[in-house]
C-alpha cells in the first residue's frame, strides 16, 4: 500500500520543482522531504529521482507516479470535503494565509472567533504576498488566502478558485508633518511629483501598482527607499525621508511626525478571500470565510 504522506511529498516536489521549494510548501525541513522520497523509492522498488545539476529531476517512473499522486490527492481532498459536508460540523484543520496588513488587521479577531465557536477546528496561519497566496491555494498547499488588488490594477485569479469580497481599503498619503501639503483636507498624487517615495520591495504586486499609478499621473517616481513592512515605511516618513501610500487596514499606531492625508481620486484596495471551488462544501472553509467577513466589518465600523 502506497503511503499517502509520501505521495503528498512527491506531488509537492513535482509542483514546486525542487526539494527546498517542496519543503517550504509542506512546511517541513529539506531533510524530511529527502527522507520521505527515499522511503517512497524503496516502497515502489524504482528510482524516482535523478540528479540534475545541483538539484534533482523526476525520472520517467517518478513522473508517472507523481501524475497518479496528483489525482489521488485530489480525490482525497474531495472525499474530505464530502465527509465534512455530510457531517455538517466545523472540524479538522484549515490552513489560511494573508498579506501582512490583512494578517495583522483581520487574523487576530477572525481566528479568536473560530477558536471560541469551533473548538474542534485547528487553524494554521501565515503571512505571504497575494500572488504567492493564490498559487498556494491553487496548488492545495493552503485552504484559503486573503489577497488584494487595486481599483486600477487587478490581480489575475485562475479558474477553479472562488472569491469572496471582504472589504475595500482606502489609502492615504503619509508625509512628514512639516510637508507643505500636510495640512490639506485631500491631495492628488501628482502633487508629489517632486518628492522622494518610499515603496514596497521591487517585484511585489503593490510596488508594481505604485509605479504604474504614478506613471499614469504623468511623472516618473523617485523611489529611494524600499520596505516591506508598513511600520518601517512610516518610520522612514517620520524621519523626513519621503512620502508613501499608507493603506488603513492593519495600520496600527502612526509614529509622531507623520501626517496622513486622504487621496482625492477614487483609489481603493479590494481585499478578498480565495479558496478552491472544489472545497466550497467544506464547513471549515465557510466558517473561516465568515469569520474573516465579520472581522472586516468590525474593522470598518
What span, in angstroms and rounded, lies between the C-alpha atoms of 20 and 37? 13
Other CB atoms within a 10 A radius of the CB of residue 179 amount to 21
233 pLDDT band, cuts 50/70/90, is very high
Across the strands, what pairs with 222? 196
Same domain, residue pair 250 and 191: yes
Shared domain check, 196 and 127: no
263 in the same domain as 194: yes
Strands 269-276 and 144-150: antiparallel
Residues 59 and 188 in one domain: no
Q: Which of residues 85, 109, 134 is at a domain's end?
A: 85
Considering only CA atoms, give the Rg of the chain. Answer: 23
In angstroms, what CA-CA distances link 74 with 32, 36, 135, 183, 240?
23, 20, 16, 56, 53
**How far is the CA of 288 from the CAs of 118, 281, 295, in angstroms?**
10, 13, 11
Residues 233 and 213 in one domain: yes
User: How many domains does the chain divide into?
Assistant: 3
Cβ 219 vs Cβ 210: under 8 Å: no
Q: Which of 34, 54, 85 is the last residue of a domain?
A: 85
**Helix, strand or coil, per DSSP, at residue 51:** strand
Same domain as 121, residue 63 = no
Cα separation, 84 vs 284, in Å, equals 8
For residue range 242-280, what is the model confidence (pLDDT) as tens digits?
A: 999 999 999 889 999 999 999 988 789 999 999 998 888
> Helical H runs in the chain?
4-16, 19-26, 30-44, 60-87, 100-117, 130-139, 205-216, 230-238, 283-300
Distance CA 17, CA 12 (A): 8
Question: Are 163 and 176 members of one domain?
Answer: no
Q: How far apart are CA 261 and CA 171, in angstroms?
A: 9
C-alpha to C-alpha distances, 236 to 176, 178, 186, 200, 284, nearest whole angstrom: 9, 14, 22, 12, 41
Statement to judge: residues 156 and 176 lie in one domain:
no
**How confident is the model at residue 300, as a pLDDT?**
64
For residue range 46-102, list pLDDT tens digits in order: 898 888 888 888 888 888 888 888 888 777 776 776 666 656 678 888 999 999 999
**pLDDT tens readout for residues 23-37:** 887 778 888 888 888
Q: What is the DSSP letter of 175?
A: E
* Judgement on whether residues 102 and 155 belong to the same structural domain of the protein: yes
- Full DSSP string of 187-216: B-GGGGTTSEEEEPPTTSHHHHHHHHHHHH
221: domain CATH number is 3.40.190.10
Residues 142-195 have pLDDT tens digits of 999 999 999 888 988 888 899 999 999 989 999 999 999 999 999 999 999 999
What pLDDT, in 10s, does the model give residues 2-19?
888 888 888 888 888 888
Domain span at residue 11? Answer: 4-85
User: 141 or 128: whose pLDDT is higher?
Assistant: 128
Shared domain check, 202 and 179: yes
For residues 135 and 180, state if they share a domain. Answer: no
Q: Give the domain-ending residue among 85, 106, 133.
A: 85
Same domain, 180 and 261: yes
- CATH code for the domain in which residue 43 is found: 1.10.10.10
Amino acid at each position: 500500500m502506497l503511503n499517502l504522506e509520501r505521495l503528498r511529498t512527491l506531488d509537492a516536489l513535482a509542483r514546486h520543482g525542487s526539494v527546498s521549494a517542496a519543503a517550504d510548501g509542506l512546511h517541513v525541513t529539506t531533510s524530511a522531504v529527502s527522507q520521505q522520497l527515499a522511503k517512497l523509492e524503496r516502497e515502489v522498488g524504482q528510482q524516482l529521482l535523478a540528479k540534475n545539476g545541483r538539484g534533482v529531476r523526476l525520472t520517467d517512473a517518478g513522473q508517472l507516479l507523481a501524475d497518479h499522486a496528483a489525482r489521488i490527492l485530489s480525490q482525497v481532498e474531495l472525499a474530505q470535503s464530502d465527509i465534512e459536508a455530510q457531517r455538517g460540523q466545523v472540524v479538522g484543520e484549515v490552513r489560511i494565509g494573508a498579506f501582512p496588513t490583512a494578517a495583522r488587521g483581520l487574523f487576530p479577531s477572525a481566528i479568536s472567533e473560530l477558536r471560541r465557536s469551533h473548538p474542534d477546528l485547528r487553524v494554521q496561519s501565515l503571512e505571504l504576498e497575494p500572488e504567492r497566496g493564490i498559487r498556494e491555494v491553487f496548488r492545495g498547499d493552503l485552504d484559503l488566502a486573503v489577497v488584494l488588488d487595486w481599483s486600477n490594477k487587478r490581480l489575475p485569479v485562475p479558474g477553479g478558485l472562488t472569491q469572496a469580497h471582504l472589504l475595500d481599503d482606502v489609502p492615504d498619503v503619509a508625509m512628514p508633518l512639516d510637508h507643505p501639503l500636510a495640512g490639506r483636507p485631500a491631495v492628488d498624487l501628482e502633487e508629489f511629483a517632486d518628492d522622494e517615495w518610499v515603496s514596497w520591495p521591487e517585484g511585489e504586486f503593490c510596488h508594481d501598482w505604485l509605479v504604474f499609478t504614478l506613471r499614469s499621473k504623468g511623472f516618473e517616481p523617485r523611489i529611494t527607499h524600499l520596505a516591506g513592512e508598513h511600520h518601517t515605511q512610516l518610520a522612514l516618513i517620520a524621519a523626513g525621508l519621503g512620502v508613501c501610500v499608507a493603506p488603513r487596514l492593519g495600520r496600527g499606531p502612526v509614529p509622531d511626525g507623520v501626517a496622513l492625508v486622504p487621496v482625492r481620486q477614487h483609489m481603493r484596495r479590494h481585499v478578498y478571500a480565495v479558496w478552491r471551488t472544489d472545497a466550497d462544501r467544506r464547513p471549515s472553509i465557510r466558517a473561516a470565510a465568515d469569520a474573516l467577513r465579520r472581522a472586516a466589518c468590525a474593522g470598518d465600523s
